[in-house]
Chains A and B, each alone.
Chain A
Amino acid sequence: MKARKIVLTSGKGGVGKTTATVNIGAALAKRGHRVILVDTDIGLRNLDLVLGLEKRIVFDLVEVVEGRCQVRQALIKDKRFESLAILPAAQTRNKDAITEDQMARLMDELATMADYVLIDCPAGIEGGFRNAVAGADEAIVVTTPEVSAIRDADRVIGKLAERSIPMRLIVNRIRPDMVRSGDMLSIDDVCEILSIELLGIIPDDEEIIDTTNRGEPLVLGDYRLRSIYEKIVRRLEGDLIPFTNLDAPGFFGRLIGALKAG
């Protein structure tokens, strides 16, 4: 059975695509799936760094496509998991180095070796985006509840819709205190504007900074955000998991709409 090939994209940079790719991938692997993460940000690779595997890179995506090595030689297994591997991007090349066809064929090859192939897309909607999307059957759009991120997500959603790629939304870095005080767009606002199915709501949490600095996926420790990612993964698998209530029930909670996460 072939893998699901899912691209994580956003348009805007810095909203948490790579962090989400790593943490969703790790959570899937923890549940026993075979997972391959692919970094398509040629020239500005970071997936390796966020997973703490940067010292083990020998070959990269471009070298595989150019036939200079086998796929298996380029894949780096994360020893903390049964079946999690990454295919790193090239650092000293640019995004012209591979074509959409080559990407599509490579992703198909990876799909014979795993249950999930998660493709980390670079910022933007040009060549890097087109390459990343060429190899995918589904998309996860990542945004934050900020004006420019949502505008860019809208653009990306348009591009994905043109290609008829089914997509779901993760809203990252929501700050319930700011939503409550009216200083931040709410999840409902974001969903109303973007109108695609919600996959996950991730609150802003400082533990992300530390874990990404150290290259440690959240599922490996006792982190607050761990359960959020576990729920996202269950939803990806097809379960209907309700979103966690971030608020204790209270007057405003009931009145305006309970703030949810998860």
Chain B
Amino acid sequence: MTLNDVLTRLNSLFGHQKSGATAKERLRLVLMSDHLSLAPDMIEAMKRDLVEVVSRYVEVDRDKIEVRFEHQDSVFAMLANVPIISVNRTPAPPTGTPRRRRRRRRTAEQNGQAPQSTINPAPAT
């Protein structure tokens, strides 16, 4: 944090933020908004990815999903409205990651063999 940042914070606390600092903050937000409106593909991709992630946990009504960006006074936020149809009992794993199973050793009986002691391994045939 620079001295400038400290001063800016102090100024806004007392409601006396200098106009230069105000301008910088406003520009930062408005450019975010401008860039987003210029990248509809990116927004579509973001929506798709968002829906995919959420769908792992809950079943969603894909046709009624709304994603929009809201620009409030000093905050730029993404708001998503995702209607949920039902909740999955066990979350599905993320796609692309194999389901991690606890490895259980198969017992000798499962293998159809007589139980063996680990101390005296079966002699090689």
A186 within 8 A of B: yes
Contact residues in A for B46 (Cβ distance below 8 Å): none
Which residue of the partner chain A has the closest CB to B26?
A: A147
Which residue of the partner chain B has the closest CB to A182?
A: B18
State in angstroms the CA–CA spacing of A189 and B35 once bound together.
Answer: 18
A154 within 8 A of B: yes
The reply to whether B4 and A256 form a contact with Cβ atoms under 8 Å apart is yes
Which residue of the partner chain B has the closest CB to A192?
A: B24
The reply to whether B24 and A185 form a contact with Cβ atoms under 8 Å apart is yes
Q: Which residue in A151, A184, A255 is a CB contact (below 8 Å) of B27?
A: A151
Q: Mark B18-38, 1 if CB is under 8 A from A, else 0.
A: 111101101110110011001
A33 within 8 A of B: no
The reply to whether A183 and B34 form a contact with Cβ atoms under 8 Å apart is no
Interface residues of A in 140-171 (CB under 8 A from B): 146-147, 150-151, 154-155, 158
The reply to whether A189 and B3 form a contact with Cβ atoms under 8 Å apart is no
Contact residues in B for A179 (Cβ distance below 8 Å): 20
Are A193 and B21 also in contact (CB < 8 A) when A151-B34, A154-B34 are? no
- Chain B contributes a number of interface residues (CB within 8 A of A) equal to 16
**Distance in Å: Cβ of B28 to nearest Cβ of chain A:** 7
The reply to whether A183 and B38 form a contact with Cβ atoms under 8 Å apart is no
A92 within 8 A of B: no
The reply to whether B19 and A183 form a contact with Cβ atoms under 8 Å apart is yes
The reply to whether B20 and A189 form a contact with Cβ atoms under 8 Å apart is yes
The reply to whether B31 and A147 form a contact with Cβ atoms under 8 Å apart is no
**Distance in Å: Cβ of A181 to nearest Cβ of chain B:** 7
**Distance in Å: Cβ of B77 to nearest Cβ of chain A:** 21
State in angstroms the CA–CA spacing of A179 and B19 once bound together.
Answer: 10
Q: Which residue in B20, B26, B35 is a CB contact (below 8 Å) of A183?
A: B20
The reply to whether A182 and B28 form a contact with Cβ atoms under 8 Å apart is no
The reply to whether A256 and B27 form a contact with Cβ atoms under 8 Å apart is no
Are A193 and B28 also in contact (CB < 8 A) when A151-B34, A256-B3 are? yes
Contact residues in A for B19 (Cβ distance below 8 Å): 182-183
Which residue of the partner chain A has the closest CB to B30?
A: A151
Contact residues in A for B3 (Cβ distance below 8 Å): 255-256
Q: Which residue in B20, B27, B35 is a CB contact (below 8 Å) of A150?
A: B27
The reply to whether B23 and A185 form a contact with Cβ atoms under 8 Å apart is yes
**Distance in Å: Cβ of A254 to nearest Cβ of chain B:** 11
Q: Which residue in A147, A158, A255, A256 is a CB contact (below 8 Å) of B23?
A: A147
Residue contacts A-B, CB under 8 angstroms, 23 given:
A146-B23, A147-B26, A151-B34, A154-B31, A155-B34, A178-B20, A182-B19, A182-B20, A183-B18, A183-B19, A183-B20, A184-B20, A185-B23, A185-B24, A185-B27, A186-B20, A189-B20, A193-B24, A193-B27, A193-B28, A193-B31, A255-B3, A256-B4
12 additional A-B pairs beyond A158-B38, A179-B20, beta carbons within 8 Å, are A155-B34, A158-B35, A182-B18, A182-B19, A182-B21, A183-B20, A185-B20, A185-B23, A189-B24, A193-B24, A256-B3, A256-B4
When A and B form their complex, which 5 residue pairs have the shortest distance between CB atoms, in order from nearest? A182-B18, A182-B20, A189-B24, A147-B23, A183-B19
